[in-house]
Amino acid sequence: MAYAKTKVLTLYRSLLRNSYKFDHYNFREYFLRQTRSEFRKHRQVPDNEALVEDALKNLAVLKRQATINKMYHFDKLVVEKLDKHHLE
């Protein structure tokens, strides 16, 4: 059974949304890059059931890791944009 395109796109957006929850720049950019590249690589695969199941597992791991990441403070890197309250 192939998953519907809307379900796959919802999963893609969920992975991206959870990737943005990482405070540390390197972790955040890594997960964003991985998500985008995996979905682009498998864009034309007709039977995507196994791929979607793997992506769901990765989403669960990503959510757990984002929660753990919130427990620790990381200083901003030079390449990151500062928030408004950092500029004052």
Phi, psi (degrees; rounded to nearest 5) at 41: -65, -35
What is this structure's pTM? 0.76
Query: Which two structure tokens, joined as six digits, stand for 66?
Result: 């984002």
- pLDDT, tens digit, for every residue of 6-60? 888 899 999 999 999 988 888 999 999 999 999 999 888 877 788 889 999 999 9
Q: With bands split at pLDDT 50, 70 and 90, how would you rate the model's confidence at 88?
A: very low
- pLDDT, tens digit, for every residue of 61-78? 999 999 988 888 777 777
What value, to the nearest 5°, has the Cα angle with vertex 65 and ends 70 and 59? 130
pLDDT for 17 equals 94
DSSP per residue, the chain: -PPPHHHHHHHHHHHHHHHTT-SSHHHHHHHHHHHHHHHHHTTT-S--HHHHHHHHHHHHHHHHHHHHHTTS--PPPTTSPPPHHHH-
